[in-house]
Structures are given as structure tokens and as C-alpha cells.
A and B are shown apart, each in its own frame.
Chain A
Amino acid sequence: MTTLLRLENLSKSYRRTQAGCLRHTLLAVDRVSLSVGAGEFVGVKGPSGCGKTTLILAAGALLQPTSGRVLVAGQDPYALSSDQRARFRAANIGFVFQQFHLIPFLSVLDNVLAPALAGPVAGARERACELLAHFGLAHRAGHLSADLSTGERQRAALARALLRRPKLLLADEPTANLDEENGAVVLRCLAEFARGGGTVLVVTHDPRAAKYAGRLLEMNGGKLEGAAGLPTNHTNHTNPTKEMNGGKLEGAVGAQNQAVESSEG
């Protein structure tokens, strides 16, 4: 299996001021090494403050590590200039955040189209409409994000992350603000993406992630446990279509699965 994401002895520390005068260094990520193959769904769980978000931002070429190396699709994004790194991110990486980070003054459709601001995307509008339909949000296309439920917002954020067909999808606590049903839907979609050949790295508290992830790693005190090597069976996902509830969403995701399956040939 091709390694899509490789972290080599990755460390990230922050300098913090304590009690207004004393400065100390906080090691958020401590010499983490991890390899994630194409089509793999890896979950990282751990308590709050263990460095999960720092890990995912560093992996996503958004946060320069203090030491170590990040390779995405064989390329070190931190060796690139800021603008080249931005292009690299746009071309290769998709993000899903706990707070969704939908732009409040844009419609749902425009939010999904937002990645096209970075550069042209062939058939962006059609792709966005397809994704909205796929996530059961076609009828919400013209609405502002404030009009959506939390589940709908996260699905819109997921659609946005998928617009450019990224190789790597990074999700930071994507289910933290969602109820059980919507959380399951999001995790299934991530699993679907992995089954379609994409790479997914999810950091989460959600114990359900274990059900969808090919590998579930534990992070504690900035250290990652059980991260060595590639999994032997990354396709050991529960088929998300079999567990879906709710008519419209179920149909839409199912259609995506068929599309993914047919593309896999």
C-alpha cells in the first residue's frame, strides 16, 4: 500500500507564559511517527489537551512542527514557501473541524464552493450540487449556515472538504458537537471516503470511531501509542450504508457508495 501521510519524529512545542512572568515550553506533540496509507481510515483518540489537534494541524501543513518531518504524498509541505504550501493544501488536503467553520454570510452552496476560491475546480458547481445532494442538503443549498441544524452544518463542512477530491482528509473532532445519529452519519461518510481510495485521519473522543476506523491509535501526553507501521486490513470497515437511518440521507449516501464502488471497478 502506498503511504500517503508520513510523520517522522514529529514534535511541536509552544512557549507559554505562566503566572504572568515565568515562561516555559509546552510539548504538545512528542516525537510522533506515523504512516497512513492511501485508502486508510485512521482514528486517533485521547483526552483533551493531549495534542490531537496540534497533530492534525501539523499533518495538514497548517502548523510548522518544532522538529521532525511531515510527508504528504511523498512531499514535505514545510519545505515549500507559504504560497506553495497553500497551493499544496488546496490540491491535496481536506479539513473537517469540530466547529464546522462555515462562513456565516455565504449560502450552503457557496460554502461548499469555497475551496474554489483558492483556484479553479473543473465543474465546481456541478460537483458541489452533487455533494449537497449526496449529503441530503440539496434543499438547503440557498440557506445560510445559521439556518442549518448542527448535523447539517457538519455535513456541509464535509461536502466542502470533498469538493476538490483531496487525497488526504483530516478531521478534528468531527462528531463532538453532533448527536448520535448525525455523528454516525459523518463517520460513515469518512469511511466511505477511505473506501473510495482517500486517506482519512480523524482525531476524536468518540468511541464509535473504533467501529469505522481501520486503526485506532491512542494519544497521551503528546505521544502516540501503537502507531507503527501500516495496518494489515484497512478495509475492515463496517459498511456504512447498512447502518444508515433516515430516508433521504440514507439514499444520498448510498448513491455515493455506489459511485465509489463503481469507480473502484
Chain B
Amino acid sequence: MRLYRLIFRELLYRKLNFCLGVLSASVAVACVVGQRAVLRQYDARTEQIIAAKEAETRATMAALEDDYRKLMLKLGFNVLILPKDQSLSDLYAEDFASKYMPEEYATRLARSRVVTINHVLPALQQKIQWPEHARTVLLMGVRSEVYVQSPQQKPMLEPVAPGTMILGHELAVNLQFKPGDKSRLMGREFTVAKINPARGNKDDITVWINLAEAQEMLNKRGVINGILALDCTCDTVDRLGRIRSELSQILPDTQVIEFASQALARAETRQRAAVEARNAIAREQENRARLRRQRESLAAILTPGLVLGAALWLGTLCFNNVRDRRTELGLLRALGLRTRQILAIFLSRAALIGLAGACLGYAAGLLFGALWQEPPAAPRLAALAPDPKLAIAVFLAAPFVAVLAGWLPACIAARQDPAVALKER
């Protein structure tokens, strides 16, 4: 006959007391484990939300990138590179540069791998009289883009094929042109390839043709009077200064002016959108972190309260058990059991209750954590995933707290006078 047999038999005999004890321990353990599981699930959900938002932002920014690129195309150019001796007064008065530079500059600029410019478009622009229609127009000779990054780079401006022209909106309306019409310009026949939409600026009276043809027609072979640098991605406040600094090394006999500030404003907006997206993610993270702190604060109050309540309840049950076993205790003392053996009976009993409560409570807590809300599968699995540190802590702490709760009743049992119990009839 061993003490453990006595303990197990007694637990099985007084089932209600045992079950109530296990229940109280398991409720406390379930709350601790469940709260941890909910927080883990919450963390997993946060990661999922943030990852989704980041992916969404990336996708949105990629879409915006394309939109702005197209918007910039419609609006004009960001930076205009002119010959150094070009008077800006003349430029603004005439709407085109009167000085020229070699077309080769565009290639040199592109090959320099200048980091602040993504697109390089050489152009020859001149205000002319369209003799066939008696109209003053801006003639713009453009060629296909000189690639800065790689030949696979998506062009900002579709090249104008030889023999074709693109007309500004007002010009096309006044002259009643539509795509596919043929017209002569300075004695050469062109097919109208496209009518640009109204832009409300000088583009509306511009005729775009192939650069080589323009050079021939204007007798300016091998030269251009401007390089359009598009989509400047300078990340400093003094963009123009940075570009000028770079270009002074590559093309020393040129000057740079800011062009189409509206486009820059858009670019700024785009950057702000990116910043706003990042801020939104940060706000979401902060918001979720705040909610997590609130939950932790609540748990920090609830958990000790529950553990204390469970311990008190368990202590009461142990005390009742001692009271119910007064005669048995008297007998055991009469049979020669020592104080520490009596203590061992009651403390082992409490530890067993704590251990059983830990097993039930741990499983219930995980289940509770998983069923707390209806999350996607990943967080639920995260909540169910075992946490070895928590498991070890629970399986050590629950019996320990139960032993603490049963300590006083066990001491009362050990100090009980056997004669008093045995004299009772």
C-alpha cells in the first residue's frame, strides 16, 4: 500500500470535489492560454493585414507610376536642355530655341547613364508658316527615344514614323483633319497618324513629324535645338540644381531649364501618395499595436484575478476535503502516519488537480483562441500552433499554484488532533 494509491482512490471516490478543482484550475489555465493564443492570432492577423496592405500599395504605386508616366507625356516635358548661348527671353517670346546643338548630344547624354533622367528625346522645334494652309504652327521634329536604361525601356513618347504627322487638337479641328487624311507640308506629303486631345497650350497648334524629315525641311541636318529630358527622378529638393550639376559634366555647352512644372507637381503628388501609403501602413500598424496593448492591459488585470479566484476556490475545495476526512485523518495518525506524510497526501492531491487542470485548460485555451473570431486559416493555425515555453510554464505553474492553494488546508490537516476526530461518534 502506497500513498499514491490512497490519493488516486480518494480522487476517484470524491469525484465532485476533484472535478470542481480541476474545473477551477482549467478555467484559469484556459484563460491564460486562450489570451496568449488570441494575441498570437492577432499578431499573425496583423502581419497578414500589413503584408496585404503593402502588396496593395505596391500594386497601386505601380499603377500610378504608369499613369503618371502617361500624364507626363500628355502634359509635356520636365526638363529642357538648350544650347548654352540660347537666350531664354527669345525662347519664351518665340516658343522655340533659335540656337542649335549637335544631335549627337542626345546620344552622349543617354550613354552617360545620368541617374536623374530616365528618358531622353532630341527635338527640333521651329515656328513656321504652313504654306499650304496659311497657318502659323509649331513644327516639332522628334525621333524615337534614345534609351537611357535599356532597349527594353518603355518609351515615353511614341516615335513619329517618316511620312506621317501628329496634329495638335485645335489645328486638326480648324483644318478639319482626321486620322488617315493626307496633307502637304512645305511641299511634302504626310499622312495624319493621330490627333492629340486638347491640352490648352501650344501643343494644340503643334505639328509633330519625324526628326530627320524636319531637319531636311528646315535645312538643319544633324542638329537639334532642344533635348527633352523626361521623368526626372531626382530625390532632392533642388532638382534643377542637381540635374544642372550632372549635365555640366556631360554636356558643358548646354543649359537646363525646368519645364512643365505641372508635371513636377504631379510627380510630387505621386511621391506624396507613396509617403501617404507608407504612413497608412504605419498607422495601421500603430492602431493594431494599440489594440494589442489594450488587450494585454485587460489580460494583465483579468489573468491574475482569475488565477487568484481559481486558487481561492481550489483552497476552499481542499479545505472541504480536509473537513470531510477528519476521521480518516485521525485514523491515519493513529496508524502512525507522520506529519509530512499527511502533508504529502493533501499537497500531492492538489498538485494532481493542478496538473489535470493544466492539461484540460491548455487544450481548451488553444481551442478558445482558435475559435475567438473568424480569421483566415493562417492565423487560426498560428493560434493552434504549440508554444513550448508557454506549455512548460503552464504545466509547471498550475500544479505549483494548486499546491500553494492547498498549502493551508494541508497544514490544517497535518496539525489536526487525531484524538478529537476519533472520539467523535
A211 at the interface (CB under 8 A from B): no
Q: CB distance B328 to A113 under 8 Å? A: no
For residue A106, CB closer than 8 A to chain B, the reply is yes
In the assembled complex, how far is the CB of residue A177 from the closest CB belonging to chain B, in whole angstroms? 10
Residues in B with CB closer than 8 Å to A57 are 419, 422-423
A82 CA to B334 CA, complexed, in Å = 12
State how many angstroms separate the Cβ of B6 from the closest Cβ of chain A: 6
Contact count band on A = 20 to 34
Contact call B1/A86, Cβ cutoff below 8 A: no
A119 at interface (Cβ–Cβ under 8 A)? yes
B389: Cβ under 8 A from any A Cβ: no
Task: Check: A110 CB closer than 8 A to any chain B CB.
Answer: yes
Contact with A along B1-39 (1 / 0, CB 8 A): 111011001101110000000000000000000000000
B333 contacts A by Cβ under 8 Å: yes
- On whether A86 and B13 interact (CB within 8 A), knowing A57-B423, A124-B1, the answer reads no
Chain B count of residues within 8 A CB distance of the other chain: 30
Known: A98-B425, A105-B13, A114-B1. A90 touches B335 (CB 8 A): yes
- A91 CB within 8 Å of chain B: yes
Q: Collect the chain B residues with CB atoms within 8 Å of residue A95's CB.
A: 331, 334-335
Contact between B422 and A101 (Cβ–Cβ < 8 Å)?
yes
B327 touches A110 (CB 8 A): no
Contact, CB under 8 Å: A118 / B9: no
Residues in chain B near residue A88, CB distance under 8 A: 336
Q: How far is the CA of A88 from the CA of B336 in the complex (A)?
A: 7
- Is A115 engaged at the interface, CB distance under 8 Å to the other chain? yes
Bound together, the chains give a CA A118 to CA B331 distance in angstroms of 11
Cα A154 to Cα B45 in complex, Å, equals: 68
Task: Check: A45 CB closer than 8 A to any chain B CB.
Answer: no
Contacts of A104 in B (CB 8 A): 13
State whether A86 touches B9 (Cβ < 8 A): no
Interface flags for B264-303 (1: CB within 8 Å of A; 0: not) read 0000000000000000000000000000000000000000
Do A91 and B9 touch across chains, with their CB atoms under 8 A apart? no
From B330, B336, B339, B418, contact of A90 by CB (8 A):
B336
Interface presence of B320 (CB below 8 A) = no
B338: interface (CB < 8 Å): yes
State the majority secondary structure of interface residues on B.
Answer: helix
Q: Does B341 contact A (CB under 8 A)?
A: yes
Query: Nearest A residue to B325 by beta-carbon distance?
Result: A103
Residues of A near B332 (CB, < 8 A) are: 114, 117
Residues of A contacting B396 with CB < 8 Å?
none
Contact among B5, B339, B418 for A83, CB-based, below 8 A: B339
Q: Does B51 contact A (CB under 8 A)?
A: no
A160 to B333, CA, bound (A): 14
The residue from A63, A91, A106, A117 contacting B3, defined by CB atoms under 8 A apart: A117
CB of A89 closer than 8 Å to a CB of B? yes
Q: Is the CB of B338 within 8 A of A87?
A: yes
Contact A87–B334 (Cβ < 8 Å): no
A117 near B419 (CB under 8 angstroms)? no
- A117 and B1: CB pair below 8 A? yes
Residue ranges of A at the interface with B (Cβ–Cβ < 8 Å): 53-54, 57, 60, 62-63, 82-83, 86-91, 95, 97-99, 101, 103-106, 110, 113-119, 124, 160, 172
Given contacts A95-B334, A105-B12, 18 further A-B contacts (CB under 8 A): A53-B423, A62-B333, A63-B419, A87-B338, A89-B334, A89-B336, A90-B336, A95-B331, A95-B335, A98-B425, A101-B422, A105-B13, A106-B6, A114-B331, A114-B335, A117-B1, A118-B338, A172-B422
